[in-house]
Structure 1
Amino acid sequence: MSEVTHVKEKSGFEDFQISKETLSSIKKMGFKKPTEVQLKTIPLILEGRDLIAQAQTGTGKTAAFGIPIVEKVNPKRRKIQALVLVPTRELAIQVTKEIKDIGRGKRIYALSVYGGKSIRHQIDFLKKGKDVVVVGTPGRVKDLIERNVLRLDGIEIFVLDEADRMLDMGFIEDIEFIFQQTPERKQTLLFSATMPKAIIRLAEKFLNNSYEIVKIKPEEVTVDRIKQKAYRVDTGKEFETLTDILNENTGKKSIIFTETKKGADELSRKLRDKGFNADAIHGDFSQNKREKVLRDFRRNKIEILVATDVAARGLDIKGVDVVYNYSLPKDVESYIHRIGRTGRAGKEGVAISIISTIEDRLFQIVKKKTKSDIQLVNLSDKPIETLERRNFTKNSRRKFLRR
C-alpha cells in the first residue's frame, strides 16, 4: 500500500496512453483538461494497479475509471469484462451513459441493471451477449447472478463507486457475495467520497497488498463561492423558521436535506400543505416516480426538492440556487457534500442550515473543520453552548472531531 502525493503535470488527455477513438469521444463530450482525480488515477489504472481513491461527486471520477475501462476491455470477446457497483439506480444510469459515451468510438456496449425496472428486460439484454461492461446496484446484480444469467468469470476490472454509501446502506454482504463470483486475478478499484476505517478494511480485504491510495481534497474554491448561514432555533420551531426563510426566497430552485426517508416524506407533505411547490425523493420510491420527480425538478416544474443524502448522492442537478440543511448532518464531509450542490460552474450559491439549540457544539465543529465564515442568526433566548463548555468532556469532543 502506498499513497500518491504528486503526479507529473499533463496538459491534456492526449498525454495519456489512450486510443484515438477514445480521445475523439472525450472531445465530443466536451472534456478539455483532465481533473485532478483523472490525472492521479488514470495512469495507475492503465498500468493495472489496484487503488482506492477518495473523491467527491463532481470531480470527474466516473471518467477516471470509465476511460481506462474503455481502453482495457475488448468488444470482440463478447463477454462481461468490467463490473461497476453503485449504490443507487440514478447513479447506475448516469455511470452507464458516461461509459457508453466514452466508448462510442470503440463500440463498447454497457448495460445498467437495477431494481424498480423489469428484470426480464435486463435478462434479455444480457442473453444477447453484446455488453462487455455492466453497471448495477448490488441487490440486482446479486439477483441476476443467482438466476444464472449474469456470469462474472470474465471480469478483469471490478469497481466499487461511492463505496462509503454502499456500506452505509448495508450492502456489504451482497458486495462480498458478488466479489466471490469474480476471478481471483483482476483489477479492483474503490472510489469513495470519505475514507472511514470501514473503507480501509474493505480495501485490505478486496485489493492486493500493493494497492495505491489517491486522495482528492474537496474543492474549497466551491465552498468559498457559497454564502453560508445558520438559524439557531428552539426545538419545535424548525418548520416555522424554514417556511419563513422559504417565503423570503420564493422562486429559487432549492434542495432541502433531511436525515431520514420518513422525514423527507413528512416535510414535503407539510410544505405542500403550506402552498409550496415541493416534492421528495428517497430510496423507497419506485424507479418511475424517482425519474419523474427528478425530471420535474430539472425542468423547474418542482421548485423545492426534499432529499436524503443517499438519494442525492451521485445526482447531477444543475442550477440549484439554495441548499437547506433541515438539521445538521452527522459528519462534516456530508455537510460539505450537501452545500456543494449549489455554487457550481463558477456561480455563487447559498447554503442555509436550520439548527436546534442542542446542535450548538456540532455547529461549532462544522464551522471549525470547514474553516468557513458561517453567519449565525440566533432566534433562541437560550445561551449558546460552545466546545469549551465544561459539560462537554474531552472524550466526547474527540469523538466529534474524528467525524
Structure 2
Amino acid sequence: MKLAVVGGGSTYTPELIDGFARLRDTLPVSELVLIDPAADRLELVGGLARRIFARQGHPGRITTTADLDAGVEGADAVLLQLRIGGQAARLQDETWPLECGCVGQETTGAGGLAKALRTVPVVLDIAERVRRASPDAWIIDFTNPVGIVTRALLQAGHRAVGLCNVAIGLQRKFAALLEVDPSGIHLDHVGLNHLTWELGVRKGGPDGEDLLPGLLTAHGGAIATDLRLPRAVLDRLGVVPSYYLRYFYAHDEVVRELGSKPSRAAEVAAMERELLALYADPALDEKPALLAKRGGAFYSEAAVDLAAALLGDGSGTSPVQVVNTRNAGTLPFLPDDAVIEVQARIEGAGGPGGPGPVPVPLAVPRLDPLYAGLISHVTAYEDLALDAALRGGRERVFRALLAHPLVGQFDLAEGLTERLLAHNKEYLAWA
C-alpha cells in the first residue's frame, strides 16, 4: 500500500508518522512519500520519520520529494495538509480582522475566507494531478477550511473525504472522564466543520445508552473549562459545542482577548522553530512532547482509521467515523451537495453501497432550530466563499463576508474586503 502526504514537511507530520508506525496492523503501509517544496524542512521531517519507523520496527519505506506528480504516482491514498502562505499568512489572517472589530482566526470569519481563497485553487490543481497519476486514489483532506476545501474537491468529481480531529479529541476526552475505552464511545456529532455539537455521547454505538446528561452533571465544569465557555452555557444547551463555537457564542469577548495578547500564529511559528531544531537531532527517534502543544492531537489515529476503512474491507477499523462528506439528505434543510461533518459508515472497496462514506441518520428526528439555523447560515456563507475562491472578484468576496454571521454588516464587510485583498494580492491571481 502506498500513501503520499502533500505538505509532508509540516511539523505536524511526525504525529502522523507515529500513528502509521504504531497502527501498522490496521494500515499496512509499504511505501510512504512525503511531498513538500520546502527542501530544508522536508529533509528534517523525513529523517525523523525514518527514525520513528526504524525504532518501532516498521518495514515500510519512507521517501521525500518536491516532485508532486512523481510522489503521488501509484498512490492508494493522498493526504493533504497544506498551509498556503505559511505561518506568515496565518498571522495576517489573525490580525487584520481585529482592525474591524471582528474575530481574527484562520478558519472562522474573515480570516477563514482569506485562507479558503488562497487554498482552494491550489488544492484543486493538486487533485487534478493526483487524478492523472492515480485515478483510483482517495484524497483525504486535513487542509483548512476543511468543509469548503472538501466541497470544492467533491464538486470537481474527486474521490475525497474531509477529516478533522475535533470529534476524535472529544471522544477521547469523554472516554477518559467516563473511564472507558474510547472505542466504546459513539458521538451524536452534527454540524459543519468547525461548527459542530455533540447531541449525545452513546455507549457502544449509535443505538446505545446516551451518557451525555450524566456526563454533564458530573463533569460539566471541566468540559466547560476546556471549551472556555461558562458552565451555564452547557447546562442550558444540554449539549457540548465544539470549542470553535466560542467564536460565535462569545465573539466580542474573544475579540478583546485576541487584541490583548500575542497571536496564536506567532506562538506556533516560535514552536515550529523549536520543533525543527529538535527534528534535526539524529538521536531523536520519537515524536517530541512539544508536538502535543502544536495542535492536531489524535490526527494520526483518525487518519489511519479512515484510510484503512476506505482502502480495505473495514475489518479492524471503526465501522462508523466522523468525516466531512456530502449531505445527501442527512440534514433536510441543506442542499444535498453541501458538505457536513457527521458520523458516517465508511465503505471500503467491497462495500455494498460502493466505496466511500455514507452518513448515518441522526439520532434526533428534527434538529433543534438553535443549531439548524446557524448551520444553514454558515452553509450559505460557504456557498459564496467557494464561488469567490473558484471565480474570484472583489464583489464575490464582499458578498461572502456580508453573508457571514460574524460579519453581516455592510460597513464591516466593506472594510474587511479591502483588508483581505490588500494582504493576499500575491496569492490571488485575479486581485
Structure showing the higher helix proportion among its residues: 2
User: Under TM normalisation by the shorter chain, which class is it?
Assistant: 0.3 to 0.5
TM-score (norm 2): 0.31
TM-score (norm 1): 0.33
Tell me which structure has the larger Cα radius of gyration: 1
